[in-house]
Amino acid sequence: MQVRGALQSRRSCRRPAVSPPENGGPTFYFLPPSAALANARRYRRGVKQLSARLDGLGVTIFAEMAQLATSTGAINLGQGFPDQDGPDVIKDAARRAIAEGHNQYPPGLGIPALREAIARHQHRFHGIDVDPEREVVVTTGATEAIAAAVLGLVDPGDDVLVLEPYYDSYRAVIQMAGARHRAVTLRAPDFRLPVDDLRAAVTPRTTAIVLNTPHNPTGAVLTADELAAVAQVAVEHDLVVISDEVYEHLTFGVPHVPIATLPGMAERTLTISSAGKTFSFTGWKVGWATGPAHLVSALFGAKQFLSYTSGAPFQHAVAEALDLPDSFYSSFTADLRRRRDLLCAGLGSAGFEVFVPDGTYFATTDVAALGFTDGLEFCRSLPTLAGVVAIPHQVFFDDRPDGSNPGRTLVRWAFCKRDAVLTEAVERLRLISRLN
C-alpha cells in the first residue's frame, strides 16, 4: 500500500518559523502575550509586521514562565530540563571533537557516525532495522524534526490529529503549515486514549497523526491496545504517523513500544527522538528521525531550509553516548523514578491531587483540591505565593465553544531536578495549603 502523504508532491514553505525552546528565547518572546502581539502589529508595512499564520498563537508558556522564574528567583519546576549535566564521558567526547577540529558545517543529514549510532540504537532497543544512509536524519532537536515532518508532509487545508493536551509546538507548526489540528482528548485521572474519539476525529481531509508517547505533559504511556487502535486507524485511512518519542527511555515499570514496530506501520511512520532528554544535554539540541526513505526525504526537504545543519561537535559526542551500556539507561531511569516519587509524595502532602506518571519527567496535579479554579492564574501567582514555577495544562488544550477547558485546573511539575531542589520546592508549596 502506498502512503498518500509521503508520495504526493508537497509545496515548500518559503518562510518557515521556529518555535523558541523551552528554556529560553529572544527577548521579544518574554513580553506578555497581549503586549507582544500589539508590539508586532504596530508595524503594518515594515519587516516587523506579524504574519497572519501566527494569529492566535500568542507567546509560548515556557518563555513566560522562564521569565517569571528569572525575575523572582523562584525554583523552576516548570521547564523540562535537568539542573545537572549528563555523564562526564559525553562532555569529554564533545571537548575531544572540538579539539580535533569538528567545528564546521557537518553534512545536512548528520555525520555518518551519528546516523550509524542511531541505527544501532533502534535495533538494540526496539528491534527496528533502518538504513543509516537513507532512513536516518539528524535534526536541531526533536522540535525541528516535528516541524520539518509537518512542513514536508502536510498541505494547506489538511487535518492533523493530535493527542490533547499537546506540546504547544504541535499546534503552532500545523497552523504555520496552513493545516488544522484536530484534538483527541486524554482526560484525568488516568489519561487513557479514547479510541472512539480517535476514530470520530478522522475527516476526509486527515492526512497525518502526530503521536506522542510517553506523553507530555500527562506522563501517560500508551498501552499495546491503544497503540494497536492508532495503527488500525492509520492503516484504514492511509495516514502518516509522526511519532514523538523523546521520552522513550523515561518509563517507570511499563514498556515503551514504538508504533513503527506494529504491523503495517513501519512504512508510514517517522519516529522522532532526542539526545536532550535521554542524556541531560537539552541545550545541545541534537535530535533525529528514522523511517522509510521516502518519509525521511520529505522531512529533509523542509529541514534543509530551516537550520540545514547544526551542532557538529555535539553530533560526535551523541554518537558515542548512544553506545553507552545498558547500565547507564537503567540507572538513569531508576534515579528519575526515585525523584518522581519524591516530588509526587511531597505534592500530595502539600494538599494537591496528584496523578503519578508512568513516563516522562513530569507529574500532573489538580489544584482544585486547594481551592483554585484556574491553573494559569495559579501558575502566574505561584512565584509570589510560594517561590516556585510550574506550567498550567490549560495552554495545551483547546478552549471549547462554551469557554470551558478540560485542563483548567491541571498543573505540570518537572521532577528532573536535584533532590535538594525538589525538597525545598515542596516545603515552599506547603505554604499554600496553610494559606487555604
Residues 218-246 have a mean pLDDT of 99
| Together in a domain, 347 and 296 | no
> Is 40 part of any domain?
no
Residues 23-28 have a mean pLDDT of 36
CATH code where residue 331 lies: 3.90.1150.10
Distance CA 406, CA 420 (A): 33
Q: Which three cell numbers stand for residue 297?
A: 526525504
> Is 7 part of any domain?
no
| Together in a domain, 259 and 391 | no
Residues 74-80 have a mean pLDDT of 94
| Together in a domain, 347 and 403 | yes
Closest of 132, 366, 431, 118 to residue 248, by C-alpha: 118
- Three-class secondary structure of residue 274 per DSSP: strand
Position 59 scores a pLDDT of 83
> For the purposes of burial, counting CB atoms within 10 Å of the CB of 187, is it exposed (0-12), middle (13-18) or buried (19 or more)?
middle
First to last CA, the chain: 60
Residues 387-391 have a mean pLDDT of 98
Element of type H or E holding 55: none
| pTM score, whole prediction | 0.89
Domain count, the chain: 2
| Together in a domain, 77 and 114 | no
Average pLDDT of the residues of the chain: 91
Residue 184 β-bridge partners: 163
| Together in a domain, 161 and 291 | yes
Position 388 scores a pLDDT of 98
> Is 55 part of any domain?
no
Position 433 scores a pLDDT of 78
Position 58 scores a pLDDT of 80
> Is 92 part of any domain?
yes
Check if the beta carbon of residue 277 is closer than 8 Å to that of residue 246. yes
Check if the beta carbon of residue 349 is closer than 8 Å to that of residue 430. yes
Residues in CB range of 6: below 8 A, 6 or more apart: 153, 240, 268, 292, 294, 295, 298
Residue 252 clears pLDDT 60, i.e. is over it: yes
Q: Which of these three, 270, 303, 326, is where a domain ends?
A: 326
Q: Which of 51-60, 198-207, 225-234, 292-301 has the lowest mean pLDDT?
A: 51-60
Position 57 scores a pLDDT of 85
Position 2 scores a pLDDT of 41
pLDDT tier for residue 87 given thresholds of 50, 70 and 90: very high
| Together in a domain, 280 and 385 | no
Q: Which of these three, 274, 309, 326, is where a domain ends?
A: 326
Closest of 366, 412, 359, 394 to residue 220, by C-alpha: 359
| Together in a domain, 317 and 351 | no
Distance CA 246, CA 261 (A): 16
Closest of 202, 158, 207 to residue 184, by C-alpha: 202
> Is 59 part of any domain?
no
| Together in a domain, 320 and 332 | no
| Together in a domain, 289 and 429 | no
| Together in a domain, 343 and 321 | no
> Is 115 part of any domain?
yes
> Is 48 part of any domain?
no
CATH code where residue 187 lies: 3.40.640.10
Residue 29 clears pLDDT 60, i.e. is over it: no
Residues 272-286 have a mean pLDDT of 98
Amino acid at 377: E
Q: Which of these three, 326, 346, 367, is where a domain ends?
A: 326
Distance CA 271, CA 291 (A): 6
Q: Which domain holds residue 431?
A: 73-85+327-435
Percent of the chain past pLDDT 90, that is, above it, reads 84
> Is 66 part of any domain?
no
Q: Which of 30-34, 196-200, 402-406 has the lowest mean pLDDT?
A: 30-34
| Together in a domain, 124 and 81 | no
| Together in a domain, 282 and 356 | no
Residue 365 β-bridge partners: 354, 411
H-type alpha helices, 237-374: 275-279, 293-303, 312-321, 326-349
